[in-house]
Amino acid sequence: MKAKERVMHLLNHQTPDRMPCFAANAAVTYDQMEAVQAFWPEGHEKAGTMARLALAAHTVLGLDAIRVPFCQTFEAEALGCKLKPGGSEGIPGIDFPPPYSIDDVPVFPQDFLSRGRIPELLKAVRLLKKELNDDVPIVGGIVGPLTIAGALLETVPLLRASIKTPEKIRPFLEVAEKAGTALAQALVDAGVDIIACEDMTASPMLASPDTYRHFEREYQTRQFEAIEVPKILHICGNVDLIVEYMGRTGADILSLEPKASVPLAREKCGSDIILMGGVDTVSTLYLMDPATVRLECEKAIADGVQILAPGCAMAPGTPLENILAMVDVARQH
């Protein structure tokens, strides 16, 4: 099967020729940059460089899908947050001070899709769609409502308010959901096949599980209802306390770090949810050797993942041989 056929077979609950292997999160390494001569920071800013770098996930790494963008700042920047450049070796972040405080009323700009680097991102997707001839699926990344709200307010004040005055975070979740949904719909119009929503701040390592259950899930569900293509939901860390509710958002795929229990996710979410993950991106994929990577991949498959994947965003310095070992394991299943 071609890569897109393989992935879509699984999404349709059919049996592909082998296990798919791709990343829900960023999968850019320095080795890829050298191989295709496409580098940061231009890879975060310019459509042509972004497209070449994204394509390398398939041509260099052998992954079954490619993904843009490579950071979690596009929506926040377009909503007025100050960008902290990542330079030639890192990814952009959100700088201090935030544009709002908890008692403000945030506004969703009508020209949102023309702001910041969003036009270059959409142009990159159109370039990729033309280059790939529909043989390889394109994953478009958006950021979840709670994480965008954290950028608008700064994370600590957001989390404090989510406990003490939770209703005050609703206006920020409203604007954040609109931003992610608008970007997702524009990415789909440009040619994206799958939307991956990363919501790092929703992790039980940061936010209270009650905040997820009673607030964030509502906005993620609304967002996913508005997106017509398959959806991946990724929340960092051990999500065992909220995984049942993640499975009720309308996501088609849950992306799990090895800290989370795949068997528990299957028990809580049922057979219709597809589970992806497998390799710890730091302690194994970045720091260990191919033999250790293979062992962790085999364990993840035995636990029940259906898409072998890095558990989170890959470190740019991840050794190429470790990634190729992961891909090879998938090809044997």
Calculate mean pLDDT across residues 72-99. Answer: 97
Average pLDDT over residues 295-314: 98
pLDDT of residue 126: 98
State the average pLDDT over residues 12-29.
97
pLDDT tens digit string along 33-52? 999 999 999 999 999 999 99
Strand partners, 67: 139
Cβ atoms of 318 and 29 closer than 8 Å: yes
Are 310 and 284 a contacting pair, CB within 8 Å? no
* Predicted pLDDT of residue 235: 98
What is the tally of structural domains in the chain?
1
Confidence of residue 278 (pLDDT cuts 50, 70, 90): confident
The reported pLDDT for the residue numbered 180 is 98
Q: Helix 290-303 crosses helix 320-331 at what angle (to 10 degrees)? A: 40
* DSSP string across 40-104: TTHHHH-HHHHHHHHHHHHHTS--S-EEE-SSS-HHHHHTTPPEE--TTTS--EEPSSPS--TTS
Alpha-carbon distance of 122 to 40, in angstroms, equals 18
Calculate mean pLDDT across residues 212-237. Answer: 98
Q: What is the pLDDT of residues 118-148, one digit of tens each?
A: 999 999 999 999 999 999 999 999 999 999 9
Q: What is the pLDDT of residue 167?
A: 96
Question: In this prediction, what percent of the chain has a pLDDT beyond 90?
Answer: 100
For CA atoms 32, 190, 148, 262, the dihedral sign is: negative
Residue type, 171: P
pLDDT tens for each residue of 179-200: 999 999 999 999 999 999 999 9
Q: Angle at which helices 47-59 and 118-132 pack, to 10 degrees?
A: 40
d(CA 221, CA 232): 12
User: At residue 304, does pLDDT exceed 90?
Assistant: yes
Whether the pLDDT of residue 318 is over 90: the answer is yes
Tens of pLDDT, residues 161-180 = 999 999 999 999 999 999 99
CATH classification at residue 176:
3.20.20.210
Q: Which domain holds residue 177?
A: 3-331
CB 207, CB 146: distance < 8 Å: yes
**Please, are residues 222 and 145 in contact by the beta-carbon 8 Å criterion?**
no
Helix (H) or strand (E) holding 134: none
Query: Rounded to an integer, what distance in angstroms lies between the CA atom of residue 152 and that of residue 102?
Result: 9
Q: β-pairing, 83-84 with 231-234? A: unpaired
Mean pLDDT of the chain: 97
Whole-angstrom Cα distance, residue 277 to residue 251?
15
Phi, psi of 26 (to 5 degrees): -60, 140
Instruction: Write down the pTM of the prediction.
Output: 0.98
Between CA 95 and CA 235 the distance in angstroms is 22
Predicted confidence (pLDDT) at residue 59 exceeds the cutoff of 90: yes
Number of other residues whose CB lies within 10 A of the CB of residue 333: 13
